[in-house]
Chain A
């Protein structure tokens, strides 16, 4: 980036370039400082015996909503406990799955929200996965917005939940959500509104009033509501939205005000899977994909190793160790603290190819 800029700016006077250089130094110093504080936060959680360093890197790709808990708590804890190196990268679950499937990236571990992304990765790379937590949806809201008091009262139980949905259906209400075409949360939020309409006995048209016409039938809905995963919380925190879609874990980490939803609506309880399946959404066709109908399913966190022929043995071992650590008491506790609902660990897929250490951790989780 810097050389690119130098080339472009060579036409400008020296003193101006000096200004640029000084500013760069400022940015870099700032970046270093924040990196240092991150590191401190990561190591502060772990204590105890020092484990010898082992070669092998657990390269973990995870859904963006897991970024904070993985990078700051689970990753450093794993590195401290096992001696392996941890690197993590976050992104949209579906996007990451496509990148893994096409060979653009080759992480050792994949953690996604919902099982659809693991299916995209394919059974050749990931013949099994373990469900171990759920990520219920909430509605994060801006307490200072036009509808702030309504939401505060609903949150305090002084108004029925239906009032919150009525507010969201009001003209001029500024709702934010993510793109159903790329983000499972974006799909889940639409289906959550559908489930709320059924469960809370709201008027039939309210789904389209809140989300825009055609939102469940292959249309785009109100596109002005759609923001990137990266920026949705920023828009809410900047006070530019009245309410936004969020996982409970996000709302907890970012100290957002949020409405907890009933289990039948929040897509966070595997026991309600059959109820969730009644909600559905058509994802529009693209050049390479036909339109697909997605049905509601619990927002379960899945973890799997990703096998590549070229993978080093050390890295494969580190990947397996990461999964085992994630399923251990420490790994599960970190998720519980971060706002996820813990589930009994369940293996899905080819059980015979699950490593013994992972199976042991699954059994231990109860």
Chain B
């Protein structure tokens, strides 16, 4: 804990951020405000004008970006009619891939939560030797194209490899099985969860954990009462991101888990067999299944953020800095 100027300094930084900067519109109205009132009024004037300016350009820009991003979704909905969707979903066994996908993704995420959460925490708190090595290791599956992951998994865990023979002893195979699907999905989604969770934990101010300890909490109790609730929104968004990656995993899946079909394979096979029109309804199913969790997590995160960080003053000194940015840690 170094000597620092505390809340005031934080407040000042926040003001600069919200202030006009090089905003010409705000600068133009400045003289009138100067004559008008106190420093506080001046300050509020700044902010209001810059907000209005940001409003005009911001809304237009954001709308443009949103249109581009949502374009594919719009195209999808435009090409679907209720009839085709109904026909596609009513086919024999049409929903089995959905069940398979949901089950495999749930198992993947379960594994990630159990194994990845402690790893992410240890990485965030610098509890591991050679931290760079761990970070790189987690990044590798992210940096490799999923197709390459799939091919390497063939070499690593194919039935003729030592790993594959070991798996055979416990009646598992990483080739064209449900287990293979889970493995492929786990590889594709793990970096998203672990790195997201690490950021979520790193965002929790360590001073808060120390305060909890000084107030009598054991490390486990402080983790449950402080770290976990504060990291929860970040963990949830990491988890939902991982969910979307897992359920949509394709590159590694097509290599080692052609069967049993999950949703992406179903889309691919239907596209190959019957063309785009027949495949689109399943794309809709994938979206419907993959999207809600991220959306819920997003809404929750946003609400948690506004709950804790809003307020006219005393903001920056109490909000855990990591909610908006990386925490500014006091150097010891």
- Taking Cβ atoms with an 8 Å cutoff, the residues of A that contact B are 8-9, 11-13, 16, 19-20, 23-24, 27, 92, 94-95, 98-99, 101-102, 104, 145, 174, 179, 181-183, 220, 223-228, 230-231, 234-235, 238-240, 285-289
Contact = CB atoms under 8 A, between A and B. Distances in A.
A102 B270 CA distance: 14
B160 A224 contact: no
Report, as a range, how many residues of chain B touch the other chain.
35 or more
A119 B115 CA distance: 52
Contacts of B160: 145, 174, 239-240
18 contacts: A8-B241, A92-B272, A98-B273, A102-B275, A181-B269, A182-B272, A224-B176, A230-B147, A240-B154, A240-B160, A240-B161, A240-B164, A240-B175, A285-B92, A287-B88, A287-B94, A287-B270, A287-B274
Interface stretch (B14-22, B45-53, B224-232, B255-263): B255-263
Given A228-B255, A287-B270, 14 more contacts: A13-B199, A19-B136, A23-B139, A92-B272, A94-B272, A94-B273, A224-B177, A231-B255, A235-B154, A238-B158, A239-B158, A286-B273, A287-B274, A288-B278
A223 B276 contact: no
Nearest to A179: B269
A240 B176 contact: no
B195 to A, nearest CB: 6
B155 A289 contact: no
Contacts of B103: none
Nearest to A103: B276
A114 to B, nearest CB: 15
Contacts of B91: 285-287
A29 to B, nearest CB: 14
A234 B281 CA distance: 32
B272 A231 contact: no
Q: Which of A16, A230, A288 has the most CB of B within 10 A?
A: A288
Contact of A223 (B143, B150, B173, B176): B176
A11 B241 CA distance: 13
Contacts of B199: 11-13
Nearest to A220: B259
Interface in B193-224: 195-196, 198-199, 202
Majority secondary structure, B binding face: helix
Contacts of B150: 231
Nearest to B148: A27
A182 B175 contact: no
A223 B262 CA distance: 13
A16 B273 CA distance: 43
Nearest to B275: A98
A182 B273 contact: yes
A92 B90 CA distance: 26
B196 A240 contact: no
A100 B271 CA distance: 12
B326 A286 contact: no
B155 A101 contact: no
B273 A102 contact: no
A102 B79 CA distance: 12
Interface in B259-297: 259-260, 269-278, 281
Given A234-B154, A240-B175, A288 B87 contact: yes
B91 to A, nearest CB: 4
Interface in B102-161: 135-136, 139, 142-143, 147, 150-151, 154-155, 158-161
A224 B173 CA distance: 10
Given A224-B176, A231-B150, A240 B158 contact: yes
A13 B139 CA distance: 13
Given A101-B275, A223-B176, A16 B139 contact: yes
Nearest to A237: B154
B247 interface: no
B13 to A, nearest CB: 18
Contacts of A226: 176, 258-259
Contacts of B192: 8
B229 to A, nearest CB: 19
Interface string B57-98: 000000000000000000000000000000111111010000
Contact of A224 (B139, B175, B196): B175
Given A240-B161, A286-B270, A98 B276 contact: yes
Contacts of A20: 139, 142-143
B159 A240 contact: yes
Which 8 pairs between the two chains have the least Cβ-Cβ distance?
Answer: A240-B158, A182-B272, A98-B275, A223-B259, A95-B272, A287-B91, A224-B176, A287-B88
B279 to A, nearest CB: 9
Interface in B153-192: 154-155, 158-161, 164, 173, 175-177, 192
B254 interface: yes
A217 B308 CA distance: 63
Contacts of A102: 275-277
Contacts of B135: 16, 19
B165 to A, nearest CB: 11
Q: Which of A145, A225, A287 has the most CB of B within 10 A?
A: A287
B307 to A, nearest CB: 20
Given A179-B269, A234-B151, A287 B158 contact: no
A196 B93 CA distance: 32
Contacts of B139: 16, 19-20, 23
B159 to A, nearest CB: 6
B143 A23 contact: yes
A238 B154 contact: yes
Given A11-B199, A287-B94, A223 B255 contact: no
